[in-house]
Chain A
């Protein structure tokens, strides 16, 4: 079985975001970039399934500009076998990403697609579900546990009130939540080895997908800043202020 893992390059989660002064977006020039944390979890899960003998090959896909190659290399260094880079300078929306991935699914026929539940830049949380719709595959979103049993996959999902378990026919789409696993760091020998692993370069045109955005960003601003309040001396003070000043208890 093949596992397809889409990976996204995003601003590193520990970097403070700066909104551009012309309100057109967020500054990404000269900012540290990393693989989206949820995508790392997806790569890790695919590797663990391969190590457990449930999968033979892991294909990492990234869609975006030239530097996405680095993100694919990171996945290869962790343990993915080969990469597909769909090169485009356009900011590709989830629906178009899902369409490209659906085409890749057609040619690669993976038994599972494991993706992050959301990217921490756009916070959309859409691509996996959209890919599932376009390929008519079932979806196990926000997964905290994945168990393959024959031609079915049992997915434990993080839902608002607790956990939900679903059984899905394979091929299926899984999106990762935080507790699914703890991603490994790539070792130096594996980073070196990853340089020799193949990355296929494609374009959205190769898949016949029009990536023109349907949603335009009119304006991006900073959120209103919260003012730091006061320090209280002790618990008595705190309770008094909450009762009489704030009126919240």
Chain B
């Protein structure tokens, strides 16, 4: 049995999401090979080759893959699919974009966002936004899986460098082209890898008030998130969104400010180690999952909190 794991990277670093998700691949019996794509990425390739548990790294050194398009990357994996039994990637927007396309080309079902590996063909995943946990068994010979990174510990990158083999891109379709990317600029850590997150909800009242969260976040080295209500109201961009339809996070500390605690939000953060809720409505459901609740007006609390830290 051999698994192929698609490794994401940015700015010369392996994505933390990939490092976590590759741990799921290591829990499946057999070798794990990595695939990394892009040109001028020596640094990332060296780091990837030292990932604990990886026995071989395939590198597609091609500038056409500096920006990943699903149509092209799927074909690259499909070209070498005969050599592998398992195909895995982190359930990032890239993993979610590419892996189902691959599964269909292989004529198999995909198991999405697994949170545990039970056996060679049995996996655990959440359904209904985490309101139910399903154990599922696949009868497909080739198995395509995406992995929820927050459910696994990151693999270390201190092994001896494994074998690195260059591969080529063949039969790549040109039915789509990359136009551009507009990445949210922030000095804050990324939501999905942050150890501390402070999120605002509808109670923040407008986008400007998110500055109050920014100031506290600065003191804590935290990422700033938001509930769907705050995103729908246009306070902040969608990539702030924590919840069923946004990002699933599990930091050490999650501070929910002015968030009522709708099911859809809880689904995205209830695996956090410590949850703090700040809300003036003491009946808000967020308090049912909070380790520490503070019933108070957030506009008083946030400046005080900034001072106290």
Contact = CB atoms under 8 A, between A and B. Distances in A.
Interface in B88-145: 92-94, 96-105, 107-113, 122, 126-140
Interface string A136-149: 11110110100000
Contacts of B292: 229-232, 238, 241-242, 246
Contact of B220 (A120, A142, A249): A249
A132 B101 contact: yes
A136 B175 contact: yes
Contact of B129 (A123, A179, A218): A123
Interface in A176-225: 177-179, 213-223
Interface string A103-139: 0000000000000000011111111111111101111
Given A26-B132, A126-B100, A235 B127 contact: no
Q: Please indicate which of the listed interface residues B100, B122, B252, B295 has the most CB atoms of chain A within 10 Å of its own CB.
A: B100
Contacts of B176: 138-139, 166-169
Interface stretch (B19-27, B68-76, B160-168): B68-76
A223 B131 contact: yes
Given A98-B104, A215-B137, A235-B308, A166 B96 contact: no
Interface stretch (A47-55, A57-65, A82-90, A151-159): A151-159
Contacts of B92: 160
Contacts of B100: 94, 124-130, 133
Nearest to A17: B131
Contacts of A168: 175-176
B180 interface: yes
Contacts of A26: 127-128, 131-132
A142 B93 contact: yes
Given A160-B92, A166-B179, A229-B292, A130 B132 contact: no
A123 B113 contact: yes
A142 B263 CA distance: 22
A215 B136 contact: yes
Interface string B207-251: 000000000000010000000100110000111010011010000
A218 B136 contact: yes
A221 B293 CA distance: 28
A37 B212 CA distance: 32
Contacts of B133: 220-223
A186 to B, nearest CB: 20
Contact of A235 (B180, B238, B291, B305): B305
Given A134-B104, A166-B176, A166-B178, A218 B137 contact: yes
Q: Secondary structure at chain B's binding surface: helix, strand, loop or mixed?
A: mixed
B157 interface: no
B49 interface: no
A11 interface: yes
A123 B128 contact: yes
Contact of A228 (B131, B239, B264, B289): B289
Given A124-B112, A234-B294, A178 B231 contact: yes
B127 A95 contact: no
Contact of B109 (A95, A121, A134): A95
B221 to A, nearest CB: 10
Contacts of B153: none
Q: Please indicate which of the listed interface residues A126, A128, A167 has the most CB atoms of chain B within 10 Å of its own CB.
A: A126
A19 interface: yes
Contacts of B295: 231
Contacts of A215: 109, 111, 136-140
B293 to A, nearest CB: 5
A34 interface: no
Given A178-B238, A219-B134, A220-B133, A236 B103 contact: no
Interface stretch (B39-47, B53-61, B182-190): B182-190
Contacts of B173: 136
A149 to B, nearest CB: 11
Given A120-B244, A239-B308, A139 B71 contact: yes
B196 interface: yes
Contact of B184 (A161, A217, A220, A239): A161
A229 B290 contact: yes
A30 interface: no
Interface of B: 10, 17, 69-71, 74, 92-94, 96-105, 107-113, 122, 126-140, 173, 175-184, 190, 192, 196, 220, 228, 231-232, 237-239, 241, 244-245, 247, 252-253, 263-264, 270, 273-276, 282, 287-296, 301, 304-305, 308-309
Interface of A: 11, 13, 16-17, 19, 26, 37-38, 93-95, 98, 120-134, 136-139, 141-142, 144, 154, 157-169, 177-179, 213-223, 226, 228-232, 234-236, 238-239, 241-242, 246, 248-249
Given A133-B101, A164-B180, A216-B136, 14 more contacts: A38-B245, A94-B109, A129-B99, A130-B100, A133-B104, A162-B183, A163-B239, A178-B241, A226-B275, A232-B292, A235-B305, A238-B276, A249-B253, A249-B309
